[in-house]
Amino acid sequence: MHKTYTVGFRRKRQGRTNYNKRLKLIRSGLPRLVVRPSSKNILAQIIEYHPEGDKVVSSAHSKELEKLGWKANRGNIPSAYLVGYLIAKKSKCKKAVLDIGMYKNTKGSRVFAVLKGAVDGGMDISHSEKILPSEDRISGKHIAKYGGKNKDIFTKYKKNKLDPKDMEKHFKIIKKKIEDM
């Protein structure tokens, strides 16, 4: 007797897509705010579902912050917040659901910093206030405090002529530039 085996979807086998979670997000009927952080950058996209394939409506990347004068690390919590703020200002759709993909749901993480930025930028996204990072972490106060003690670690900041102690001030300047766009 010959046994038959069913093989699941490739992305499910690779651990890259949770189709049950994706189906719930799509059934909401709202565009998705898709957040994909890497070690050095943050990507946020507004994606609409279409049967023939998803369509990216708008996108923001942490590299765009450098064009606005951002001198700090592009993968930290303040830059994640600014990417969320930027996508909210660039996007025409003002209501969405958060799609974090296969990332862990960790309180105060970069993913939720993007969410906070998007909400502060004017988007309506359902969330709990408990999961968002504190204002001190969003503005970079924790970096300024740590940078005052350990200046040797912040080599990129030195190269870009940014003192870690000035992080909060620098953050506010870039946020104001995004507001004025």
CATH code: domain of residue 66: 3.30.420.100
Chain Cα centroid distance, residue 6 = 36
Task: Answer whether residue 36 is part of any domain.
Answer: yes
Task: Answer whether residue 74 is part of any domain.
Answer: yes
The closest alpha carbon to 144, from 169, 175, 109, 114, belongs to: 169
Check: CB of residue 32 under 8 Å from CB of residue 91. Answer: no
User: Per-residue pLDDT averaged across 46-51, rounded?
Assistant: 92
Task: Answer whether residue 115 is part of any domain.
Answer: yes
Domain that holds residue 84: 10-132
Task: Answer whether residue 140 is part of any domain.
Answer: no
Task: Answer whether residue 155 is part of any domain.
Answer: no
Among 21-35, 68-82, 112-126, the minimum mean pLDDT is found in 21-35
In our burial notation (b when 16+ CB lie closer than 10 A, e otherwise), range 91-101 reads: beeeebbbbbe
Residues 84, 67, 151, 147, CA torsion sign:
negative
Look at the chain and report how many structural domains it folds into. Answer: 1
Task: Tell me the per-residue pLDDT of 12-34, one tens digit each, with 9 for 90 and over.
Answer: 667 666 777 778 888 889 999 99
